[in-house]
Structure formats: structure tokens, C-alpha cells
Amino acid sequence: MFRTAAAPERSGDGGRHRVNRAAAWALVLALAGSVAAAAGEQPRCGDFRANPAASIVDCDRVLSAGGLTARHEGLAHIGRASAYAALGQYAAAERDFERGIALYPAYAHAFSNRGAMYLDLGDHARALADLDHAIALDPRTHHAYINRASVHYELGDYEAAIADYTREIELNPKYALPYIGRGGARTYTGEPELAIADIDKARELGLETAWGYNARGNAHRLLGDLEPAERDYARALELDPVKVDAHLNMGDMRFFAGDLDAALDSYETAAVLNADDPADTATAHARRAEVLKKLGRTEEALAAFEASFEAGGADQIVAAQEYLAGAGHYDGPANGVYGPQMKQAVTACLGDPEC
């Protein structure tokens, strides 16, 4: 039966099934001098990472006090924008970024942080534009490189991602996250040994993530080392039990080992998780269908394929139409439409041991 690949894993760490695009954020410089004196303390306006809500309060106070140079006012807006973005309040963040950049257009970290926000939003074009500009302003804006690498990774341009992860590592060799990102990208460029070395290096630096273990499991699979691959997928799921691609990978291990019931369990778990990419949900349902076919549960298999078409949309349907045509069960157009002719073809395929 036709089998679709899981969508590429995104870089970053934390979050739900894969990664919540945990973009790296630069620390905006805290305001000092007369503003701090007026506030009676060093404000936390620029140091938004530990407590973004408190940072917003401090930025509000700094901006209300007035008497700022254009540069310092710009920094306050950029600090508050970064805090808003960290809290997921993107509309407010965008307004403050726009104001801050207008006041202080030479500040590379403003573009880097706004690019990170656009990465969170999945707006790759605007993320790339901002990150490119940040690097043009200051080629040592290292967080811009890891965020730009993340954009390239999500777009499937793994060579460009590797180049940016490498530049990030050159600028900050003790920063563990880009090693995991580069290792994950290297599983897509046919460099599994280098991928494993990168992810192991991240562990040496003290970073263990579900993303890293899942990527290292993929590298072991590429090398044919199935036992360490399964251990890595299991560890990924210990760290992040709702990581969809780790469930899919564990299901694959069980499927090819002939443990169909266990494979079905993995795929069904992946299918019910609220994946942030419909392609993962479609893949999970398609693999469920494949197992159900082998178990002789034809009606359930048909329902699973239909669920995969609903989740994956036209692209998923076209892939199925092309497969079914090659198997001799479909002679209609590859138009991405699931209709009676295609349903008949899927049903025929389910009854064909060679399909």
C-alpha cells in the first residue's frame, strides 16, 4: 500500500508533537543611565526572557517616564515587542517592533527578534527578510543564524540550514541547540554519522531533547542500526510523549519487525494527537490504514485512508491517485479530488494483496 513520509521535523525544542519552533531570541540591552535612575532601579525592560510579563510592565514604565533619546525609546519598544512575542501576543509585538525599528533602524537584534516572531508564525518570507537584514547589519548577530537555519529547515533547504547552523556554532561553540539542528538536517542530506556526532555533542554540552533523540534515531535507521534507533525513539517519547513524528517512527520500527498490533497502537496515538501540521496527521492515518489492511480489517482501513485524505487534502489525494494508477486500480485524473471512482480504486487496492 502507498506510504507517505512524515513532514520534516522543525528545528528548535520544547512544545508539542515535534517542536514548537522555539526560536532563539537575542537579549535586548537593558536601558540604563537617567531612565534607570528615574525608575529607582535597573529596569528589566530588555531582559524579557525570564519573565516577559514583568518586562512589559517595566517597558511601559520606561516609556511613560519620557525623556528618552530616539535610540533608547526604540530599545524600549523593541524590548516590549520581544516580550509580547514571547507571550504569543503577536499583534501587539508587531506594532512595537515597527515603532522601535523606526526609531532605531540600525539595531540588528530588532530585526533578528522580529524574524524569530515571524518564524513562530510560520511566515517564512518575512522571517527570511528580517533575518537577512539583521545579518547584513551585523554579521555577528548569532541568533539570527540559528533562526534563519530554522526557516531553511522548515522549507526543506537542508544545505542552507546546515550552513547557518555551522555559522552559529562558529560564533558560539558552547551553544548546544545548533548542533541538534545541524544533526537533524544532516539526516536529510545523507550524512548520518555526522548527524550522530552533532547530536552527541549537544548532549555533551548538557542539552537533551526529544527532537535530538528522534533525529539521532533517524540517523541510526539510515545506518541500519535498528536497536539503537528504537532506543532513541523511546527516549524521545519519554521526554515528549506527544511528539507525533517519534510515534510514527516507533510505529515504523514495529511495523517492519512484524509487530502489527504494536505498530497500530503507535500510529493511532499519532493520529489522535493535535499535530500542528496536517501532513503528520495524514501520514498517521495512512499508516494506520496500511496496518489495518494487513490485519484484514478492510472497512476500518478504508475509513483510515479517507481520514488521511481529509487531513492531507489535495496533495495526499494526488499521491494516492498516482500510486493507485501505477498499481492498475485507477485510470482517472490525478486531480486531488476524492470521489466515487477513487473510492472504488482504494477498495480494490485493499482487496489486492499485491497493492
3-state helix/strand/coil string of the chain: CCCCCCCCCCCCCCCCCCCCCCCCCCCCCCCCCHHHHHHCCCCCCCCCCCCHHHHHHHHHHHHHHCCCCHHHHHHHHHHHHHHHHHCCCHHHHHHHHHHHHHHCCCCHHHHHHHHHHHHHHCCHHHHHHHHHHHHHHCCCCHHHHHHHHHHHHHCCCHHHHHHHHHHHHHHCCCCCHHHHHHHHHHCCCCCHHHHHHHHHHHHHCCCCCHHHHHHHHHHHHHCCCHHHHHHHHHHHHHHCCCCHHHHHHHHHHHHHCCCHHHHHHHHHHHHHCCCCCHHHHHHHHHHHHHHHHHCCCHHHHHHHHHHHHHHHHHHHHHHHHHHHHHCCCCCCCCCCCCCHHHHHHHHHHHCCCCC
Does residue 146 share a domain with residue 180? no
Tens of pLDDT, residues 48-68: 777 889 889 989 998 998 888
- The CATH number covering residue 55 comes to 1.25.40.10
Given a cut of 70, whether residue 320 has pLDDT beyond it is: yes
Does residue 215 share a domain with residue 145? no
Does residue 142 share a domain with residue 181? no
Tens of pLDDT, residues 147-177: 999 999 999 999 999 999 999 999 999 999 9
Given a cut of 50, whether residue 11 has pLDDT beyond it is: no
Given a cut of 60, whether residue 27 has pLDDT beyond it is: no
Q: What are phi and psi of 102, to 5 degrees?
A: -60, -35
What percentage of the chain has pLDDT greater than the value 70? 86
Does residue 187 share a domain with residue 148? no
Tell me if 261 is assigned to some domain.
Answer: no
Tell me if 131 is assigned to some domain.
Answer: yes
Q: Give the pLDDT mean for 15-38.
A: 38
Tens of pLDDT, residues 79-89: 899 999 989 99
Tens of pLDDT, residues 225-236: 999 999 999 999
Does residue 107 share a domain with residue 70? yes
Residue 199: give the domain boundaries: 176-241
Tell me if 89 is assigned to some domain.
Answer: yes
Contact (Cβ atoms closer than 8 angstroms) between residue 155 and residue 165: no
Does residue 208 share a domain with residue 148? no
Least Cα distance to 184 among 214, 225, 146 occurs for: 214
Q: Which of 99, 121, 153 is the last residue of a domain?
A: 153
Predicted pLDDT at 42: 40
Predicted pLDDT at 278: 83
Does residue 99 share a domain with residue 61? yes
Does residue 113 share a domain with residue 34? yes
Tell me if 112 is assigned to some domain.
Answer: yes
Tell me if 281 is assigned to some domain.
Answer: no
Does residue 146 share a domain with residue 95? yes
Number of domains within the chain: 2
Given a cut of 50, whether residue 126 has pLDDT beyond it is: yes
In this prediction, residue 44 has a pLDDT band, given cuts at 50, 70 and 90, of low
Given a cut of 80, whether residue 8 has pLDDT beyond it is: no
Tell me if 185 is assigned to some domain.
Answer: yes
Predicted pLDDT at 3: 53
Does residue 124 share a domain with residue 30? yes
Given a cut of 50, whether residue 144 has pLDDT beyond it is: yes
Does residue 35 share a domain with residue 140? yes
Does residue 183 share a domain with residue 128? no
Given a cut of 60, whether residue 21 has pLDDT beyond it is: no
Tell me if 49 is assigned to some domain.
Answer: yes
Predicted pLDDT at 145: 95
Global pTM reads 0.83
Q: What does the block give as the cell for 205? A: 554540552
Least Cα distance to 324 among 306, 341, 304, 299 occurs for: 341
